[in-house]
Amino acid sequence: MNYYSSQITKLIEELSKLPGIGSKSAQRLAFHIINMPEEQVSGLASAILDAKHNIHYCRECFTLTDQELCPICQSEKRNHRVIMVVENTRDLAAYEKTGKYEGVYHVLHGAISPMLGIGPNDIKLKELMHRLQGDVEEVIIATNSSLEGETTAMYLSKLIKPTGIRVTRIASGVPVGGDLEYIDEVTLLRALEGRVEL
């Protein structure tokens, strides 16, 4: 790619490090950015830096937020006694888009995967167990239906059951191996409504 000037090459290289961006897309994006008005470019650059500097985990549910407590954990309209456990913030966003879930969440930031060497201590599981010492009525396990998601669900239910808290698993209308964020809202709602006791 050295037929471009080194600064363009650098930009293309940086963009191609992003997930899902191959070298062709990176080139297209780089030229698009170069042709954007300076104002827009600096808006984009500062949005990226601001997000990086100000976004951290919610103290309660571990979703990404720029406040100490995310808006969901802060809301009095939500039912704080029902906790839906999801693998990541994107899955939380998918459920929020349905606008029908009234409980709160817990974001694990991953799933247990013996193959990849990801154990219970590598995800926000201790933090969930800590939350369960409070007033909790139900934990809805909404990890993905992949092998890792199912392993995590089983592990969680074994851990939570002795506490006497109701543990449910979203219905498997969700395609196997499906990433929650790509599943449409109707399917998500059906999976939530059809949840089963573990």
Q: Which stretch binds Zn ion (CB under 5 A): 14-22, 59-67, 180-188, 189-197?
A: 59-67
Token pair, residue 54, equals 């100000």
From residue 140, give the alpha-carbon distance in Å to each of 37, 92, 116, 160, 167.
47, 12, 25, 11, 6
User: Which CB, 15 or 64, lies closer to Zn ion?
Assistant: 64
Q: Which stretch binds Zn ion (CB under 5 A): 55-63, 94-102, 124-132, 161-169?
A: 55-63
User: Which CB, 62 or 155, lies closer to Zn ion?
Assistant: 62
Compute CA 122 distance to the chain's CA centroid, rounded to the nearest angstrom. Answer: 15
Q: Which stretch binds Zn ion (CB under 5 A): 2-10, 71-79, 109-117, 162-170?
A: 71-79
Distance CA 56, CA 63 (A): 8
- The residue within the footprint of Zn ion, chosen from 11, 26, 30, 70 (CB under 5 A), is 70
Q: How far is the CB of 195 from Zn ion (least distance, A)?
A: 21
91 lines the binding site for Zn ion (CB under 5 A): no
- The residue within the footprint of Zn ion, chosen from 12, 30, 61, 84 (CB under 5 A), is 61
Q: How far is the CB of 194 from Zn ion (least distance, A)?
A: 26
- The residue within the footprint of Zn ion, chosen from 11, 12, 73, 85 (CB under 5 A), is 73
User: Which CB, 61 or 86, lies closer to Zn ion?
Assistant: 61
Rg (CA), the chain: 20
Q: Edge to edge, what strands does the sheet with 79-86 contain?
A: 103-107, 79-86, 138-141, 166-169, 196-197
From residue 121, give the alpha-carbon distance in Å to each of 93, 109, 113, 128, 185.
24, 11, 11, 12, 31
58 lines the binding site for Zn ion (CB under 5 A): yes
Q: What's at 84, amino acid-wise?
A: M
Interacting residue ranges for Zn ion, rule: CB under 5 A: 58, 60-61, 70, 73
